Copies of this chain bind each other. A is one copy, B any other.
Amino acid sequence: MPKLPSRIDIIEEGPREGFQIEKGPISTARKIELIDALSQTGLATIQIVSFVNPKRVPGMADAEAVVAGMTPHPKVSYRGLWLNQAGFERARATGRLDLRGAYNVAPSETFLKKNQNRSIAEQTADNAVIIERFKELGVPVEKGGIMAAFGCNYEGDIAPARIVSLVGGLLEQAKAHEVKLEYIMLADTMGWATPASVKRVVGAVSDKYPDVGLSLHLHDTRGLGIANAYAGLEMAVTHYDAAVAGLGGCPFAGNAGAAGNVCTEDLVFMCDEMGIETGVDLQKLIDCAVLAEDIVGHPLPGSVKTGGSLARLRAARAKAAQA
């Protein structure tokens, strides 16, 4: 039996992933309602908004109002996402977010070109500027990310050695700029990962860089999200991005690109049942998933919100036995 980690950290991305993609409109008040409910579950890190062009992402036009309106829980680190300097300045101006720097690379020239209109070399050069800017502002640079680390709609399959090489590049860049990354994120941006490829890629990276922390950002495009997370657990990966109720994805959208992250409460349920600590109260999180479904007004992918926890069944049995 492989040794599973005793504890993992979950980065909840549901509000950002979900409200960004939903056709809506969803009122600012309801967004805040979900964020405030998530704040009570024990989740330590919640990404609540993105600061992007409101013309391109109208669902995030109220990002500042959402941040201003939520009630911060003292133990929660609230995060925002930005894609450029203007977005970062908006996040900073709120004064209520835990700002953390990150920089990304991808193994695919075509993907980068389509997604960010840059070559890999250009992105690496840009990252140097980004890191220096974070340092000037005293923003800790937390992670280096690799997009499409398990396969790419444009480039196809990616050799694990290529990812090891990109991890090496991220680490060298961090060293050159004297920042200490907390971890490297491997993102299955387009839903190509399988449990076997998660093990291959994570194994190859860990063999070369055994002391580097890893995070998995897994999309459930083809139904393997939770199996891929399990493979990550078997490889001792301790950081996972996830989205309550599977927000951000609708399995019935007809658009493969719309599939969301692995569902937080399903991941917490799996961890609870396997003795892995998450710090999250599953029942409170299930209530949040039900709330999320009510807010978006259509079914969301998560299963445990329908199937229910086993802790509840065990408690009911124990109570019946006492009676």
Contacts and interface: CB of A to CB of B under 8 A. Distances in A.
A205 to B, nearest CB: 14
Query: What 9 pairs between A and B have smallest CB-CB spacing?
Result: A223-B303, A223-B266, A227-B227, A222-B307, A221-B307, A196-B274, A227-B230, A194-B273, A252-B299
A307 B196 contact: no
B310 A192 contact: yes
Contact of A200 (B1, B230, B263, B269): B1
Nearest to A274: B196
Contacts of A196: 1, 4, 273-275
Interface string A194-213: 11110110010000000000
Nearest to A155: B317
A254 interface: yes
Instruction: Report the copy number of this chain in the oligomer.
Output: 2
B194 A270 contact: yes
Contacts of A231: 230
26 contacts: A1-B196, A1-B200, A151-B310, A153-B313, A156-B313, A156-B314, A157-B314, A191-B307, A196-B274, A196-B275, A220-B303, A222-B304, A223-B266, A223-B302, A223-B303, A224-B269, A224-B270, A224-B303, A226-B227, A227-B227, A230-B231, A251-B299, A251-B303, A252-B306, A256-B306, A256-B308
A191 B309 CA distance: 10
Contacts of A121: none
Interface of A: 1, 4, 151, 153-154, 156-157, 191-192, 194-197, 199-200, 203, 220-224, 226-227, 229-231, 251-254, 256, 259, 263, 266, 269-270, 273-275, 299, 301-304, 306-308, 310, 313-314, 317
Given A222-B303, A231-B230, A199 B1 contact: yes
Contacts of A299: 251-252, 299
A306 B253 contact: yes
A257 to B, nearest CB: 9
Nearest to A263: B223
Nearest to A154: B317
Contacts of A259: 303, 306-307
A14 B268 CA distance: 29
Contact of A317 (B156, B194, B222, B306): B156
Contacts of A274: 194-196
A273 B223 contact: no
A253 B304 CA distance: 13
A254 B305 CA distance: 9
B1 A203 contact: yes
Given A222-B307, A223-B304, A259-B307, 20 more contacts: A1-B196, A153-B313, A156-B314, A194-B273, A195-B227, A195-B270, A222-B304, A222-B308, A222-B310, A223-B263, A223-B269, A224-B269, A224-B270, A226-B226, A226-B227, A230-B230, A251-B299, A252-B299, A256-B306, A259-B303
